[in-house]
Structure 1
Amino acid sequence: MSYINLPPTPSQGGLLPYWLLFTAAASVYNTGQAYFASWQSREVYSGKPTEMTPLASRLFGTWTLLAAAIRFRAAYDISSPAMYDLVMAKFAIASIHFWSEMLIFGSVKLNRASIGPLVIGTGSLVWCLTQRNYYLGL
């Protein structure tokens, strides 16, 4: 059985791979918060905090951990079109989720807990879209 042997840092140039590693680490931290301090998830969804049950918080944590795994892997394989598109889709899905929860469903209100997911998701998606040709050699 072989293990994944990754170098200590991404080999591709530019800052995007390092940003993906940073956001992956932040996502792992947020997963712990979602599992063990659901009050913080309720702060993100402060528009309708009663909808953020402990189960919903753990589901959100699981989704966040999956996002961390995708970002982490993409940081080391950013020149793979499939990996690049997957991480871009992940940011698009997160952006659609948070913006729709704020603008349509009313469960997210703009506050210190929600600004991060909104800005990071949308900003990272724009970054990925504008740098796609560079990282994929197109």
Structure 2
Amino acid sequence: MFLEQCICIILVSGNLCTLTLFSDLPQAAGWLPLWQLLISVTAVFNSVQNFVTLKLTRKIYPQAAVTGLQARTFAVWTLTSAVVRAYAAYNINEKHVYDLTLFTYLIAFGHFSSELLIFRTATINPGLISPVIVSTTSLVWMISQYDFYVKSS
């Protein structure tokens, strides 16, 4: 069924019909729900990458620290975060969902920051900067929009 929804042009009764994917996007006001969906989809791809290869993970952490087990564990965490964030994209006005999603970014920020500043197992590079930017941007955005999405509903 999902593939049917993704097809943009179909032939129905001999007539050409155009379908849009917009009906399946989050319907809540503002850009935050769409951001949650985008980050969720990105996280799914990152999870797959961590299950399949160590190449990109080694761009964040030292070679010796990156093992198959570590990468797969990271993939499971990332996939869990992706599910929570996707759920938030479609249920952004539910306080518990919003709060859990906010915590996924806080945990991610804490992880990457501690690996850089405390444990010194990560160095400043594009592989580290990207999740730090996403987590801090998302945290600031979600905290600043809390009243709009949660308290107004």
What SS is found at the alignment partner of 1:106?
coil
CA shift for structure 1 position 137:
3.1
Q: Which has the greater radius of gyration?
A: 2
The range that moved more, 65-74 or 104-113, is 104-113
Where does residue 129 of structure 2 map in the other structure? 115
**How many angstroms apart in 2 are the aligned matches of 1:123 and 1:107?**
23
5+ residue gaps, structure 2? 1-22
**How many angstroms apart in 2 are the aligned matches of 1:137 and 1:53?**
44
**CA RMSD between the two structures:** 1.0
**How many angstroms apart in 2 are the aligned matches of 1:99 and 1:72?**
24
Q: Going by fraction, where is strand more abundant, 1 or 2?
A: 2
Q: Deviations over 1:44-98 (max 9, x none)?
A: 11xx321111110010011000010000000000000000000001100000000
Tell me, yes or no, if structure 1 residue 28 matches structure 2 residue 39.
no
CA shift for structure 1 position 108:
1.3
5+ residue gaps, structure 1? 1-6
Q: Deviations over 1:83-126 (max 9, x none)?
A: 00000011000000000100001111111111111110111111
Q: Deviations over 1:15-38 (max 9, x none)?
A: 000000000000000001101111
| 1:58 counterpart (34, 47, 72) | 72
Which structure has more relative contact order (CA 8 Å, sep 6+)? It is: 1
| 2:32 counterpart (6, 9, 16) | 16
Alpha-carbon contact 1:49-1:107 (below 8 Å) kept? no
Count of aligned pairs between the two proteins: 130
TM-score in terms of structure 1 length: 0.91
Where does residue 106 of structure 1 map in the other structure? 120
Task: Determine what percentage of the aligned residue pairs are the same residue.
Answer: 35
